[in-house]
C-alpha cells in the first residue's frame, strides 16, 4: 500500500488562506455545492458580484489548486462559428487539511484496511463491519434532526437526485478508499444502514457508483428522503 501525502501540518496554509476572502469563499462554496462545472456568469450571480470580479477570484482559486478549469461548449452551440468553448470551474479532487500539532489519521485508516486484507480468517473484517453498523446506528439514535442534515454534518454533501433518493457528492473516506474500495465502500454502506436504522427510517442503502461522487445511494421506502 503506497501512501500519498504525509501528516497534515501547514503545507496547505497558503491555499486555504485564499478562502479568507469572503468573495472567494462564496464562489468556492457555490462551485463545490453545484456538483458540476459552472461558468463565470452563473458563479458571479450566485456570489452577488460582477462577472469580471468573479473571473478574477475564480482564477485565483485555480492558482491555489482549490478549483480546476475545464472547457465545454453548450449543446446548442457546435460546429463552425460556434467560437471557443467557455471556461468552466469545478472543485479540485485533492483534499486540503490544516492540523496542529501533526496528526496522521489517514495512516491509521490504511493500517486497518491492510489488516483486514491480510487476515485470511476474516475476523478483522467481520469486526470492522459490525463496528461500522453499530457506529452508524448510535449516530442516528443520538441525532435530533433529519437524515440529510446528519449526512451534511458528516461531510457527505447529500442531494436529492429524484424523489426519495439521496446521493452523496463527497466521500469522507475517499483517500483510504482508493487503496481498497471494495472494503471501504462496504463499510460505508454499513455505517449508513446503521444511521438509517438509528433514525428509524426505512431505507435501501446500495452501492451505485457515479464519477466524482460517493458510491452510495439512499432510497427511502416511503418515497421521501426526509420523512417528518
- Residues 109-133 have pLDDT tens digits of 999 999 999 999 999 999 999 999 9
Same domain membership, residue 213 and residue 128: yes
Is a pLDDT exceeding 50 seen at residue 182?
yes
Q: Are residues 81 and 140 in the same domain?
A: no
**Is residue 143 one of the residues assigned to a domain?**
yes
Same domain flag for 71 and 155: no
d(CA 115, CA 125): 8
Whether 4 is covered by a domain: the verdict is: no
Based on the domain organization, do 85 and 127 belong to the same domain?
no
133-136 long-range CB contacts below 8 Å, 24 or more apart?
133/190, 133/191, 133/193, 133/194, 134/194, 135/191, 135/194, 136/190, 136/191, 136/192, 136/193, 136/194, 136/195, 136/196, 136/197, 136/198
SS3 173: coil
Domain CATH code at residue 59 = 1.10.10.10
User: CA-to-CA distance for 90 and 70, rounded, in angstroms?
Assistant: 8
Please indicate, yes or no, if residue 207 is contained in any of the structural domains: yes
- Look at residue 85 in the predicted model and tell me its pLDDT: 84
Q: Which residue has the higher pLDDT, 148 or 83?
A: 148
Same-domain status, 67 and 145: no
Residue 2 confidence (pLDDT): 43
Domain hosting 141: range is 121-220
Whether residues 85 and 147 share a domain: the answer is no
**pTM of the entire predicted model:** 0.80
Q: How many domains does the chain have?
A: 2
pLDDT band at 1 (very low <50, low <70, confident <90, very high): very low
Residue range 9-20: mean pLDDT, rounded: 90
Q: What is the pLDDT of residue 117?
A: 92
Residue 226 has pLDDT above 70, yes or no: no
Residues 213, 125 within the same domain:
yes
**Taking all residues of the chain, what is their mean pLDDT, rounded to a whole number?**
89
Q: Alpha-carbon distance 135 to 143, whole Å?
A: 12
Q: Which of 184, 59, 13, 168 is nearest to 113 (CA)?
A: 184
The predicted pLDDT at position 61 comes to: 97
Query: Phi and psi for 171 in degrees, rounded to 5?
Result: -105, 115
- pLDDT of 142 > 70? The answer is yes
Q: How far is CA 20 from each of CA 25, 42, 67, 93, 134, rounded to the nearest angstrom?
A: 7, 22, 15, 20, 38
CA distance 187 to 132: 6
Same domain, 70 and 154: no
Residue 228 lies in a domain: no
In whole angstroms, give the CA distance from residue 146 to residue 152: 10
Nearest to 225 by CA among 161, 152, 142: 161
| Grid coordinates given for 126 | 467481520
Same domain, 65 and 134: no
Residue-wise pLDDT for 37-71, tens only, equals 999 999 999 999 999 999 999 999 999 999 999 99
Amino acid at each position: 500500500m503506497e501512501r500519498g501525502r504525509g501528516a497534515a501540518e501547514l503545507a496547505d496554509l497558503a491555499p486555504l488562506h485564499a478562502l479568507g476572502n469572503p468573495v472567494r469563499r462564496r464562489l468556492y462554496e457555490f462551485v463545490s455545492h453545484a456538483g458540476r462545472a459552472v461558468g463565470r456568469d452563473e458563479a458571479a450571480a450566485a456570489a452577488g458580484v460582477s462577472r469580471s470580479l468573479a473571473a478574477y477570484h475564480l482564477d485565483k482559486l485555480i492558482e491555489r489548486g482549490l478549483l480546476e478549469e475545464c472547457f465545454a461548449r453548450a449543446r446548442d452551440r457546435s460546429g463552425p462559428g460556434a467560437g471557443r468553448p467557455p471556461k468552466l470551474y469545478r472543485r479540485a479532487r485533492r483534499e486540503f487539511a490544516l492540523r496542529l500539532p501533526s496528526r496522521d489519521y489517514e495512516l491509521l485508516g490504511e493500517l486497518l484496511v491492510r489488516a483486514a486484507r491480510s487476515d485470511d480468517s476474516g475476523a478483522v473484517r467481520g469486526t470492522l463491519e459490525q463496528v461500522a453498523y453499530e457506529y452508524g446506528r448510535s449516530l442516528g439514535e443520538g441525532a435530533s434532526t433529519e437524515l440529510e442534515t446528519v449526512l451534511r454534518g458528516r461531510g457527505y454533501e447529500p442531494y436529492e437526485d429524484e424523489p426519495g433518493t439521496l446521493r452523496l457528492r463527497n466521500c469522507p473516506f475517499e483517500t483510504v478508499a482508493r487503496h481498497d474500495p471494495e472494503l471501504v465502500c462496504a463499510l460505508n454502506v454499513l455505517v449508513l444502514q446503521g444511521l438509517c436504522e438509528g433514525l428509524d427510517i426505512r431505507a435501501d442503502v446500495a452501492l451505485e457508483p457515479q464519477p466524482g461522487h460517493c458510491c452510495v445511494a439512499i432510497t427511502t421506502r416511503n418515497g421521501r428522503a426526509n420523512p417528518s
